[in-house]
Structure 1
């Protein structure tokens, strides 16, 4: 393109866990798209994304961007050849807890882009766990050859360091979803809302094969409901699995909740901002899904985290918090104590954590700033 900054156009491929109807990962994608658009405008670049998705038609329809099928090699190759670079991220892409093919897939996409001479960028990645040591060279190779590497927590940076990626090449940033805004809608004012029981958002996922963690979560919610009336609103972040999990827990609650308490299931909708809006309407949240906690933080909703993975502990730690329990242990009465305290001291909780939350929101835009700057000043077309 010409030298006029207002005419620069850059196409960028985006690789991640997209199109699988996981609200957290879809929120990551939307956050990246919005950040790239904002930074493009600020720096005089028109950024045109092409998203690699398992459901490109739905992705294109939802976000108004071009998309290609992530599992069709010819489509991936065609996309990478057309683009000026590749973003890999965010989310927990480089881990082997979900299977042995996850890391080879995402590093393979990055390596293919690099072989085609395209710059690659790691965008707020969550690294690990990596239990298969033969995968270390795959990660190290593509990270060392990337133009920009950012991870979403210090633990991910430390793991990359142990794998052999130089520390001075890694930037620690928040999860991109910290910067996700509410949809442009007016929230309806409910008459007499102050008279209603407080809303407790509940985001659970299946983890233990025997379901003992969900049994403990149900007992904790029962204990809370017997302390004070509450409206338990279950939030399925990954459909249909979280919907089924929520329904199973709700069945365990049937007939056991305290007077004035109730349980209901939210409709997740097709857009991540719809779930963000749901979270914003809660008075407090019990979150097992990482992005349920991130949504809550971004909306200043007091939260209690239930840890199933180190990423939960790592995010809570950035806010000065610790989990209320784990998939191995959750004391029902201790949970009820903590939840009641959050509801009684909601404003104090928000004031205490405001500075940390504001900092994460501000820093969540850094990867987009760096990537757009590189695309504008380094690539000539």
Structure 2
């Protein structure tokens, strides 16, 4: 274990994968740890060390994929605690990859703290076994939504689980969005509606690519005709660009769309979203950014985490992007636009409550560190002055 006169915090999650949402979680998490424990050394375990060093130049970065147990153990031994999360990394076939490293840390005597983690879909028995074996021994288990708690319980985890909220809710918007949109040649002086799409895959098992491309193309054309809007596709992963073009290829008004192509930090994407008049999307963190920006939003659920967020934010309870008909979806978009002042005010109030829950995760981690790794006292270098007599 690391030197208990100081604290070394390891962070493990889906980092280095060039996903804006994951990087937003990491940014907020690191800021919270630094703010509460400026004496902490930070070690980031990354899937792509070069990318992570560019994004976080002031953090020690360790690559872990493809590294043998002995090789990674030398880094784990230095830790006071390993923080797992946040983000939705505990799902079929993926969970075991992260939990194997987490279990190695535990075997070395390093405590595990899960940080507002996301779970599901999780039905594979091998992954469920890793959940039970690893998280049962964790110092604390916090998840970002009720859906994740239910998934872990159904996997057989019987220990207490605390529900907080996504760490990215603690990011604060800046003011560079207008400049970034101008650089992407997005028209000025018009209504802007942001859209977010994603790829099918293990985390979105029921998406039919052609079907949802056509469905969202109908939404895009409606936005142009009904609102005289320009549609801005905001990729949260690089592969989202391809799927955004797939949607645009089905639109009659393709010339009234822009697919953003720049590589942006989370703060920059949040600033871009702040420039929008309306947000409609699939990606969870695009919707979180819209909530932080205080603009009306319509989630297009494809998984439990988006359903859960829609309920928490008070958005329309759509059945899911894979099951909605175009007519019902367009009616919801129309209603959202007509009710946007009230919807925006409602979103701001709900978001404020969620931010308080998001802050609780960091509070719990810092309290744990204060109990197990006392703060380093800095001796004063000022000379001692004797008190006057009399």
TM superposition score category, shorter chain reference: 0.7 to 0.9
| Alignment deviations for residues 68-127 of structure 1 (CA, whole Å, 9 cap, x no partner) | 10212355322211111100101111111xxx2x12111111111111111110011111
Q: Does 1:359 align with 2:339?
A: no
Q: CA deviation at 1:323?
A: 4.6
Structure 2 unmatched ranges of 5 or more: 201-206, 377-390
Aligned pairs for 1:127-166 (under 5 A) are: 127-166=119-158
Q: CA deviation at 1:189?
A: 12
Structure 1 unmatched ranges of 5 or more: 1-6
The answer for the alignment partner of 1:225 in structure 2 is 224
In 2, Cα distance between the equivalents of 1:184 and 1:219?
32
In 2, Cα distance between the equivalents of 1:194 and 1:108?
49
Distance 1:321 1:172, change over 3 A: same
| Alignment deviations for residues 147-203 of structure 1 (CA, whole Å, 9 cap, x no partner) | 111001112212323333335x2110111111112247585699xx99933111110
Q: Tell me how many residue pairs correspond in the alignment.
A: 360
User: Which residue of the other structure, out of 155, 166, 173, is the alignment partner of 1:175?
Assistant: 166
Range that drifts further, 243-252 or 338-347 = 338-347
> Do the aligned partners of 1:221 and 1:332 also contact (CA within 8 Å) in 2?
no
> Do the aligned partners of 1:28 and 1:91 also contact (CA within 8 Å) in 2?
yes
Q: CA deviation at 1:231?
A: 0.8
- Please, what is the CA RMSD of the aligned residues? 2.7
> Do the aligned partners of 2:25 and 2:168 also contact (CA within 8 Å) in 1?
yes
Aligned pairs for 1:258-297 (under 5 A) are: 262-297=256-291
Q: CA deviation at 1:33?
A: 0.9
Q: Does 1:236 align with 2:235?
A: yes
* TM-score, L = length of structure 1: 0.87
In 2, Cα distance between the equivalents of 1:293 and 1:186?
16
In 1, Cα distance between the equivalents of 2:280 and 2:46?
30
3-state secondary structure, aligned to 2:258: strand
> Do the aligned partners of 1:107 and 1:139 also contact (CA within 8 Å) in 2?
yes
In 2, Cα distance between the equivalents of 1:78 and 1:194?
53
Distance 1:143 1:344, change over 3 A: same
* TM-score, L = length of structure 2: 0.85
Q: CA deviation at 1:319?
A: 1.5
Q: Does 1:199 align with 2:188?
A: no
Q: CA deviation at 1:370?
A: 1.3
In 2, Cα distance between the equivalents of 1:124 and 1:143?
13
User: Which residue of the other structure, out of 12, 28, 38, is the alignment partner of 2:35?
Assistant: 38
Q: Does 1:371 align with 2:365?
A: yes
In 2, Cα distance between the equivalents of 1:268 and 1:36?
29
> Do the aligned partners of 1:268 and 1:274 also contact (CA within 8 Å) in 2?
no
Q: CA deviation at 1:278?
A: 1.4
Aligned pairs for 1:300-339 (under 5 A) are: 300-324=294-318, 326-339=320-333
Q: Does 1:17 align with 2:14?
A: yes
Distance 1:198 1:331, change over 3 A: farther
Range that drifts further, 174-183 or 72-81 = 72-81
Distance 1:344 1:327, change over 3 A: closer
Q: CA deviation at 1:325?
A: 5.4
Aligned pairs for 1:27-176 (under 5 A) are: 27-40=24-37, 45-64=38-57, 65-71=59-65, 72-73=67-68, 74-96=70-92, 100=93, 102-166=94-158, 169-176=160-167
